[in-house]
Amino acid sequence: MKKFKNTLSWLIPAMVIGFATGARFSGFTPGAELFNNLWQYLKTLLLLLPPVFIIIGLFEVWIPRKYIEKHFGESHGISAWIWLMLLASTIVGGLYVSLPLAYSLYQKGIRLRLVYGFLGFSTICRIPMTFFEASFLGLKFTIIRYIVAIPLIILSSMLIENINRN
C-alpha cells in the first residue's frame, strides 16, 4: 500500500472540516449545510468501519496464506469466482468497505483478477441492495442487471489484470 504523504493527505479533510465547522458556528447557511453533510457521512463511517476492520484483522492473522494461494492463486478454478461472489454479496455499505477487504485478500495472495472480480461483485451483488432494488424497480430489472453485469465484471477484471501485467 502506498503510504499517504503525511501532511498533504490530511490537508483536504482538514480544510473542508475546518471551513464547515467555522461556517457552522458563524451562521453561514451553505457552511452549516456542509457541516451537516459531513457529520452524516462521518457518523455512517464510524458506525460501520470498526467491526469491518476487526474482521479484517482476524482474517489476516488466522487465515493461512498457503490455503488462499492454493484455491485463489494463479491456478484457481471457476469455484473461486463463485466463492468470491458469495462473499461479496454479504458486503454492506459500498466500495469503501470492500476496498480494504479486497486489499487484504490481495495481500494474502489472491490473483489480481479475482480481487477485481470481488470488488465488482461487491458493487452489483449485495444482498440487501438487491432486495431493495427488486421491490422498488421490479424483479425483471434486477434479473436483467445481474445477467448483464456478472459476465462483464469477470471480463473487465481479466482486462484490468492484463493491463496491470504489461
Partner 1 sequence: MRFLYPIAIVLVIISAFADRKKTQQSLKLAWKKFFSILPGFLTMISLLAVITLIFPLEKTGELLTAHANWLGLLIALSIGSAIFVPGFIAYPLSAVLLENGVPYYIIAGFTTSLMLVGFASLPIEIAYFGKKTAIIRNVCGFFLSLLISIVIGFLYGEF
Distance CA 77, CA 62 (A): 23
CB of 27 to partner 1, least distance (A): 16
CB-wise, 77 or 132, nearer to partner 1?
Answer: 132
Cβ-count burial of 103 within 10 angstroms (0-12 exposed, 13-18 middle, 19+ buried)?
middle
Give the residue, chosen from 22, 25, 37, 86, that forms a contact with partner 1 under the rule CB under 8 A: 37
Picking from 115, 122, 123, 126, the residue whose alpha carbon sits closest to that of residue 157 is: 115
56 binds partner 1 (CB under 8 A): yes
Task: For residue 136, count other CB atoms closer than 10 A to its CB.
Answer: 9
CB of 66 to partner 1, least distance (A): 17
CB of 62 to partner 1, least distance (A): 7
165 binds partner 1 (CB under 8 A): no
Cell of 144: 436483467
Instruction: Identify whether the C-beta of residue 27 lies closer than 8 Å to the C-beta of residue 12.
Output: no
CB-wise, 40 or 79, nearer to partner 1?
Answer: 40
Q: What is the DSSP letter of 75?
A: T
Distance CA 78, CA 64 (A): 21
Give the residue, chosen from 21, 42, 80, 114, that forms a contact with partner 1 under the rule CB under 8 A: 42
86 binds partner 1 (CB under 8 A): no
55 binds partner 1 (CB under 8 A): yes
Q: Which residues contact 61 (CB under 8 A, 6 or more apart)?
A: none
67 binds partner 1 (CB under 8 A): no
Give the residue, chosen from 30, 64, 78, 165, that forms a contact with partner 1 under the rule CB under 8 A: 30
Give the residue, chosen from 108, 110, 113, 120, that forms a contact with partner 1 under the rule CB under 8 A: 120
CB of 102 to partner 1, least distance (A): 7
